[in-house]
A and B are shown apart, each in its own frame.
Chain A
Amino acid sequence: MAHKIIPIGPYHPLQDEPEFFKLHVDGETVVDIDIELGYNHRLIEKIAESKSFDQVTFLVERICGICSTSHPFAYVNAIDDLLGVTPPERALYIRTVIGELERIHSHLLWLGLAGHFLGYNTVWMWAWRYREPVLDIFERVTGNRQNYAMMKPGGARRDISEEDFPWIKKTLRDLIPKVDMFKGAVMDDPVIHARTEGVGVLTKEDAHDYCVVGPTARASGVGIDVRKDDPYAAYDKVEWKVITREGGDVYSKAVVRILELYESINIIIQCLDKMPKGPIDINIKDIPPGEGIGRHEAPRGEVIHYIMSDGGNSPVRHKIRAPSFMNIASNKKAVIGETISDATIILAAVDPCYCCTERMAVVDYKTGKKLMDGQDLIRLSQEKTERLRGRHNMPPLQ
């Protein structure tokens, strides 16, 4: 039987970015889903190869507007790894503070959007209102509400003034009652329970199979978190815990994100208390030949940057793996069998960020047929990496 196709995208009120989900439906039930990305490919990796190492920090910041410090964070981690240096203590704390502030504003943003997708516009407006103080902190500390430009290879670009510490702490403590309110609204409201509990379940096995990361994985009982598993910056110097839930449904994902808000506030306040005085930068002059990998737990999950240098001014290879790339595919498991009403909130529950994720597709202009599939592109990419390694006298991978 031919199923009707309900398109979500490429332009749809559900998401702000271009993406295309083809829902094959039988009545209201989704029987299959096609995920088509690639409407917003911007060649970031290629552009990075024409920028100097310092400029790339600003370039990767513009990959995504929401996690605009996660990509630079992973990038500077990669450069530090390539150089084998550890930035000054104070810089590590500053990086941690900025990274966690971003997590707070990103999770609040998601919470609001999730409310909007459920038709609960009051939650939407309220969550975004309480996100404003966090953006105020950013504005006061970094000068910008988004694209903070605080990351720098070998340190931090700007210091956080000691005079601001009490104000930041007070603003964050004021946020806690508001988070309590949202926690109550999600955990106690019977209609929200009815709409989210047991909806779009991603089991622990599926979470493993699809290699999901971040809150999506933690809501399915997979307790992975780069901050804990492979500590960087100041994450091993402060007390905090990884939030996990076993449900795997939309409700668990919401709960994980809300509880992570408390942890982030906790981390920032501890960092501000413990932050030592001293330099914030080691002033890197040259980048020697070599390669480095940097990881960071972005609000959506683990982001990986791979950098290869030939000793010149700019990276010869820059590879980015954004967390949504892993998470979006898991919709295939979570959405099938649910209704269209639930499909929208399930698609949104992984907190997808398409502009981070876009990959290239080679399509014949005349026939509209895809010339290369994923495997071909992976092979091309691997061949190129091997070629580069050969040129710079590195041993082949594998």
Chain B
Amino acid sequence: MIKYLFNYIIFPGFLFTAIIGLAASWIDRKVTARVQWRVGPPWYQPLMDIVKLSIKEITVPRSASKGLFFLSPMIGLSAVTLVSTFIWLINIDPSSKGFSGDIIVILYLLTLPAIAVILGASASGNPLASLGVSREIKLVMAYELPFIISLIVPIIKSHGLLRLSEIISYQTTNGPFVASLSGIIAFIVMIFCMQAKLGFVPFDMAEAETEIMAGTYIEYSGMLLAIFKLTKTMLMVALPLFLITLFWQGFNFLSIWKYVILLVIIILIRNTNPRVRIDQAVRFFWGKMTLMAVVAVILAIGGK
């Protein structure tokens, strides 16, 4: 019991993932700044942002539904903590951990942060937040479809394994899935879905600052906003690791470069695109991306 709590809260769960996430978020901000001819923040800036927000007052709008307003940041944070604990543990010791079907549980848990944002924002009772919510719901529906379809590819390729640790060991013996045609297509689709899940440009319409002033987060302040920010930061660790686990033989501390490559891809996409409209995003995911995912599945069945 104590061991599980230790795993969940300190290593490799909340604390460890948060530290890695803050470092990743600093890399993101620094690289973005350098691309934009700016100097960029010092390495402790993301941490300072969280600390500063934590000691600020929490204002609750009068029209808010209080329980949900306070609860939803926690839902998102606990879900992403659980996911990252699980993925870290499996990758550190692939032989013993996991249960059959854990891949599906992770799929659900990865949706929870978005659901938490939707719940919290609709609880705040702000018209701009409700606009953000409607965009977020559409976006979730848009990217989940190709995300789930491309998730089938590694399952097919590993001949029906639903256990993450087994998928890793299958790849260790038979080579990574990204090396195959269907694998790389599904991987690319997943990268775009990851960008949307993280809420980065070009899919940041739910919090579009210049349109609806942070949209879903507009009424959040202080500690609650800090928790939402931390959730997003940790998602920046959990999602790439999930992708690496599924397609790229998993990772250990020596193969940190895989994570860095994914991070660089995220940052590059983010800095070379304007924000798209929500209808364009839905068309993109349900059109091109779903098509690509289906093609990948067919190729995987054909053994490519």
Binding site for B on A (CB under 8 A): 4-6, 12-14, 25, 27-28, 115-126, 129, 189, 191-192, 194-195, 339-344
Contacts and interface: CB of A to CB of B under 8 A. Distances in A.
**Chain A contact surface mostly:** helix
Interface in B208-229: 208-213
Contact of B212 (A6, A115, A126): A6
A122 B280 CA distance: 21
A195 B274 contact: yes
Interface residues of B, number: 30
B278 interface: yes
B274 A341 contact: no
B246 interface: no
Nearest to B37: A129
A122 B275 CA distance: 12
A14 B210 contact: yes
B168 interface: no
B159 to A, nearest CB: 39
A194 B128 contact: no
A317 to B, nearest CB: 40
A129 B275 CA distance: 22
Contact of B201 (A117, A120, A125): A120
B273 interface: yes
A116 B273 CA distance: 11
19 contacts: A4-B127, A5-B127, A6-B127, A28-B134, A115-B274, A119-B201, A119-B204, A119-B209, A119-B274, A121-B201, A122-B271, A122-B272, A129-B37, A191-B273, A194-B276, A195-B274, A339-B277, A339-B278, A340-B212
8 closest A-B pairs by beta carbon, nearest first, are A119-B275, A125-B36, A120-B274, A118-B274, A341-B277, A117-B210, A344-B211, A14-B210
A122 B36 contact: yes
A191 B274 contact: yes
A179 B123 CA distance: 47
B137 interface: no
Given A14-B210, A194-B276, A341 B205 contact: yes
Given A28-B134, A340-B211, A341-B205, A120 B273 contact: yes
Contacts, number: 81
B131 interface: yes
Contact of B134 (A27, A192, A194, A195): A27
A13 B210 CA distance: 5
A277 B96 CA distance: 88
B278 A341 contact: yes
B94 interface: no
A125 B32 CA distance: 11
B278 A28 contact: yes
B210 A194 contact: no
B202 interface: yes
B38 interface: yes
B35 interface: yes
Contacts of B209: 13, 119
Given A6-B127, A6-B131, A6-B212, 12 more contacts: A6-B128, A28-B131, A28-B134, A119-B208, A120-B275, A121-B36, A191-B202, A195-B277, A339-B278, A341-B208, A341-B275, A342-B277
B286 to A, nearest CB: 16
A125 B275 contact: no
Contacts of A125: 36-38
Contact of B37 (A6, A126, A339, A341): A126
Contacts of B272: 122
Contacts of B202: 119, 191
